Amino acid sequence: MDLTIQQNCPSCGAEIELHEADRLIQCPYCEVRNFMVDRGPLRFVLPDRAPAHIDRREMFYAPYLRFKGNLYYCKGKYLKYRVVDTTERGVNSNVLPPSLGLRPQAMPISLVTDVVSGCFFRQTVKASTLLAKASQLTDIDSENIHASFYNRAYIGETLSCIYLPLYIEDGVLYDAVINTPLAHGGSAENLEEKSDRYQQAWKPHFLATLCPHCGDTLTGEHDSLVLSCQNCHSSWEEKEGGFHSINWQRVVSPHDHMVYLPFWKLRVRSTGVEMNQFADFLRMTNQPLVVQAVHEQMELVFWIPAFKLKPKTFIQLAKNMTVSQAKLPVGEQTMIKGMHPVTLERGEAVQALKSVLAAAALNKQRLLPRLPGMTFHTLASDLAYLPFFDRGHDFVQEQSGLSLAKSILRFGRSL
């Protein structure tokens, strides 16, 4: 479930409302567009309803780690997947609630900035611990499968920190959201020893949306991770606090009014279990195709959706597009309207490689045990936009005939 966030415009200071996945922020007042840089987990704070006489400078904030994403795992002869959305305490404490429940979804939250005074508890629970707990949830689905795990992958993941406001009054620690006591005998001095004040490293950083190549305005949608320049036909992604150009192409269609969906085109090779050509992939997955000489000449390429989808649809589309890649022509660098935003990072696509290979395997019992000994090496990665017909309820890919329900594509924007 998506979060609603209150944030001040970095240009004019006006209060604006955005969502958890938003990166390209346009202020409705000054209309300036800024791109928010991802410098680690975003930090949010729940709204407090503490009594007016409580000094906000003496409040405390307890961290909760939130993980949201698609989890894929291979066990025995099965490939399974599920959506995980969980929140856990970021500090070791039996006093604080074990989870924030539905609070982050039920009320607007705010980005932590220097205007939030008070003390923030130091995080003592590592993010890896939360991911381990998230992966343990899959055991519920597979408790009757007595076999080894061969691979786990988190795809489309979002890791953030949400702070619960607290205050002490007459020696009692209170939850400042609902003003209920949590523990007696609280000491502000003891809590301050385990806390820090706001750190400038937490401050969100924004980039001006100007093309580094020609200076024109970069375009995109609110959740776009890749911005485009319609003037010089270049594409840019944020990396290490700046915009970096990426290789991209669009498979041109002779038809009008096409919808173009983005895919990460990953050229790879594998070691441990050697695969270098597309023919190796066909043999490894036991596809019902006759391996021809042209397949022996084709490089090993995986086609991974560059947009978020439900886990089942995502892995099926990636598998089917990878198997059908011989039908896809080479594209060109010309931009037009109707290009769907990129909402899945390149690194997330790389993490999906073993899961896609497992999904493509017709004999999973033979291939899955080989996954732990296999390592993929990315040789090149391009962004490719493929043309889809609008067929009312579905989008149908022109060359391969693969279809995708519009409702699933819309739902993916909230994952």
Give the pLDDT score at 137.
57
Burial class (CB in 10 A: 0-12, 13-18, 19+), 353: buried
Within 10 angstroms of residue 136's Cβ, the number of other Cβ atoms is 9
Radius of gyration of the chain (CA): 24
pLDDT tens-digit profile of 113-127? 888 889 999 999 887
Give the pLDDT score at 140.
46
Query: What is the secondary structure of 118-144 as a DSSP string?
Result: SEEEPP-S-HHHHHHHHHHTHHHHTTT
Q: Distance (Å, rounded) from C-alpha 318 to C-alpha 126? A: 32
Q: Distance (Å, rounded) from C-alpha 176 to C-alpha 167? A: 6
Cβ-contact 232, 213 below 8 angstroms: yes
Q: Is the pLDDT reported for residue 10 higher than 80?
A: no
Among 172-176, 191-195, 361-365, which stretch is predicted with the lowest mean pLDDT?
191-195
pTM of the predicted structure, to 2 decimals: 0.90
β-strand pairing of 242-246 with 234-239: antiparallel
Give the pLDDT score at 408.
93
